[in-house]
Amino acid sequence: MGFGYKTSWLAVRGATVAEVADALALGGRREAGWTEGTAAAYREGVYVAAPVDGWTLAHGRIDLTPGRGPEGPDFPDWLLALAARLGDLQFFCTDRVGDCHAWANVEEGRLVRAYCYHGAHGDVPFHLGEPTAVERESGVGTRWLEDGWKEWEESDWDEWHAAMPNEQDVMTIARDWGICPLDIPDDDALVGRGVHGFPAGVRARR
């Protein structure tokens, strides 16, 4: 049934399936259609889908990102290393269970925008760059815990929680920036075939 919720994905404009799979150093590759590949990537590994409207998407619920994902210290370097091989790219993550939502954009070799909210920790562990127009319109991506938050009143916390993103906000941002996976038809014949594999250091669990 495709993907979008409770997972992470990359969106790369103008790249082939092989180029994205090579940049992610995917091993154990096997060809898979959209339905099979996206379902597999929810369980393990990464699925690189055939290009849709000029965008190639790579999806993996567990194994796409290194370490702690967008919260981890190696996340920016990982994105920039991919961009050095693939050019401009975007990253998105949403998990309603852990209440973790993130997005990032690399342009011309620079991480120009990134934001990560983790509701379980009640924090924004990573933010960089100015909020984009769609973020401001949606009322998200504009707040983090500045100095003095320990003295906040209840009304301050109400404003804080109201400005925190949810999974629908991530989809809105993805759609505005280029492509939202929810808009891709769940039709193998229309989407074409991609590849499923495992990043370096990751083995099949079954």
Among positive and negative, which fits the CA dihedral 18, 171, 186, 60? Answer: positive
Lowest mean pLDDT among 25-39, 97-111, 144-158, 177-191: 144-158
Share of the chain above pLDDT 90, in %: 65
Q: With contact defined as beta carbons under 8 Å apart, do 134 and 177 qualify?
A: yes
Convert the pLDDT of each residue in 110-133 to its tens digit: 999 999 988 776 678 888 999 999
- Return the domain boundaries, the chain: 7-198
Q: How far is CA 180 from the centre of its chain?
A: 11
Classify the C-alpha dihedral 175-181-186-187 as positive or negative. Answer: positive
If you write DSSP's letter for every residue of 85-109 in order, what string do you get? HH-SEEEEEEETTTTEEEEEEEETT
**Which residues touch 128 (CB under 8 Å, ≥6 apart)?**
76, 111, 113, 114, 115
Instruction: Label residue 150 by pLDDT band (50, 70, 90).
Output: low
CA 118 → CA 95, 115, 123, distances in Å? 9, 10, 6
Q: Please give the helix or strand (H or E) that residue 41 lies within, else none.
A: helix 34-43
Is there a contact between 135 and 173 (Cβ–Cβ < 8 Å)?
Answer: yes
Global model pTM greater than 0.85: yes
From CA 59, how far away is CA 152, in angstroms rounded? 39
CA dihedral 146, 5, 206, 21 (to 10 degrees): -80
Which of 116, 141, 123, 139 lies closest to 131, judged by CA?
141
| Mean pLDDT, residues 123-152 | 80
User: Side by side, which strands form the sheet with 7-13?
Assistant: 27-33, 193-198, 46-48, 55-59, 7-13, 89-95, 100-107, 110-118, 123-128
For 120, the token pair is 């379980």
Q: For residue range 84-103, what is the model confidence (pLDDT) as tens digits?
A: 999 999 999 998 877 899 99
Identify the pLDDT of residue 97. Answer: 79
